[in-house]
Amino acid sequence: MPGSEIFQQVSGVSRETSDRLDFLEHLVRKWNPSINLVSKDSLPYLRSRHVNDSIQIFSLVDFTKGNWCDLGSGGGFPGLVVAILAHETKKQLQVKLVESDGRKAAFLREAIRQLEIEATVVNSRIEDLQPLGATVISARALASLSRLCGYAERHLSAEGVALFPKGATYQCEVDEARKNWAFDITLHPSKTHITAAILEFRNIRHV
Name the binding residues.
72, 77, 126-127, 140
Taken in order 164, 169, 175, 179, the sign of the CA dihedral is negative
12, 65, 88, 90, 110 from 99: Cα distances, Å = 31, 23, 24, 25, 14
Angle between helices 15-35 and 102-115 (to 10 degrees): 160
Find out whether 34 and 61 touch, Cβ atoms under 8 Å: no
Amino acid identity, position 58: F
Name the binding residues for S-adenosyl-L-methionine.
72, 77, 126-127, 140
How does 105-115 read in b/e, with b if 16+ C-beta sit within 10 Å?
bebbbebbeeb
